[in-house]
Structure 1
Amino acid sequence: MRILIQCLLLFSLLGLSLDADASLRCNGKLVKTGDRMFEVREHCGEPDVVVPLHSAYTVRHGHVPTREEWQYNFGPHRLMRFLRFQDGRLVQIRTGKHGFRSSPGSCSPNNLETGMTQLELAARCGEPRSKELRVTSKRYRVDGLGRVYQAGQAAEDWIYDFGSNRFVRIVTLINGQVVNIERSSSRGS
């Protein structure tokens, strides 16, 4: 009987921690899964980064996003939040690392890391010299657990120029996450 009570207590605690990520408090208002995009924007403000994850093509409107992720950096005293929307409704709220203050002027190749979010990359290094959209021809590892993005994914290459004495870096992002950092054979300008 005692073991049963302990198990129920454990499951209820796990249930509470899972539900904690299903909502977010912004400016005193509760944002939860199922909310519409305009409601989230009204309570939390504009996201720091919007990452389109999937779109559908219509003749009348062109590419219309069906899934996207909004990335919020609430500063160094709060955790970053990643909100996924499908067809205009909030379907997932994930919690990231502690937020940060932007300092794009102090970026070096050593600041680049696989696994960082597009939000972290933009905050650390600012806008790249250029961006290139492409479809991947190889697999990219997502994390240390062995998960991968298969070939054929939409990817964005951000090209960073760190000056004439350093090689240009090509940072590959898939779904708003850095999956590869490549050193170019050419030096910056």
Structure 2
Amino acid sequence: MKRLSWLVFSLFFLFSEPLFALRCGHSLVQLGDYKADVSDKCGDPDSEESHYERRGNANHADATQYGFNGQQRFPSSSFGYGQSHYQEIEVLVEEWTYDFGSARLRKVLHFENGRLIHIESLGRGRYRR
């Protein structure tokens, strides 16, 4: 029974959303927040880095030998034909670093196109007076 309750307790905290969030004062910063909201809740970051990444996306439209009703349009043919489309887009990636002092871990917040996508924990922060 003790093992079961420990397992349920562990799973609860493993899959709870606030575990993947950052607390700034009395506010909670979560994935999907905008940069302006994070800045309002946590203040300006200690360091900021940004760069662009090119990402590709491939779409393939296929015209098969069957019609909408399931009937074979080209009974003597066994070929399919289609069209591929590849598109590259630029994504603005920003990394904000917060150092909350020696009592807490440093955090790196990763933004893509202005939205928070990942929160990374680093080592202990520096001693602050």
TM-score tier (shorter): 0.5 to 0.7
User: Would you say how many aligned residue pairs link Structure 1 and Structure 2?
Assistant: 93
Q: State the identity as a percent.
A: 32
Among 108, 114, 117, the residue aligned to 1:88: 114
Q: Which one has more relative contact order, counting CA pairs under 8 Å at least 6 apart?
A: 2
Name the residue aligned to 1:158.
none
Query: Deviation string for 1:60-83 (max 9, x for gaps)?
Result: xxxx86111111111112211111
Given that 1:21 and 1:94 are in contact with CA atoms closer than 8 Å, whether structure 2 keeps it comes out as no
TM-score norm. by structure 2 comes to 0.58
Measured after TM superposition, the shift of residue 51 of structure 1 is 2.0
Unaligned runs of 5+ in 1: 57-63, 103-189
| 1:59-98 correspondence to structure 2 within 5 Å | 66-98=92-124
Report the Cα distance in structure 2 between the residues aligned to 1:77 and 1:2, rounded to whole angstroms.
Answer: 33
- 1:14 is aligned to 14
Secondary structure of the 1:30 match is strand
Separation in structure 2 between the aligned mates of residue 47 and residue 2 of structure 1, nearest angstrom:
44
1:66 to 1:21, Cα distance in 2 relative to 1, 3 A: farther
1:40 aligned partner: 38
Shift in alpha-carbon separation, 1:34–1:2, aligned structure 2, 3 A: same
Residue 116 of structure 1: aligned partner: none
**Once the two structures are superposed, what CA deviation does each residue of 1:33-56 show, in whole Å capped at 9, x if it has no partner?**
111101111111111111224346
Q: Which one has the largest radius of gyration? A: 2
Q: Which runs of 5+ in 2 are unaligned?
A: 55-89
- The 3 A distance-change label for structure 1 pair 5 and 28 is closer
In the aligned structure 1, how far is the partner of 2:2 from the partner of 2:25? Answer: 43
Q: TM-score, normalised by structure 1?
A: 0.41
Q: Matches of 1:67 and 1:100 in 2, distance apart? A: 26
Distance of 2:121 and 2:50 partners within structure 1: 19
RMSD, aligned CA: 2.7
Equivalent position of 1:49 in the other structure: 47
Q: In the alignment, is the contact (CA less than 8 A) between 2:13 and 2:19 conserved in 1?
A: no
Q: 1:186 — aligned with what? A: none
Equivalent residue for 2:29?
Answer: 31
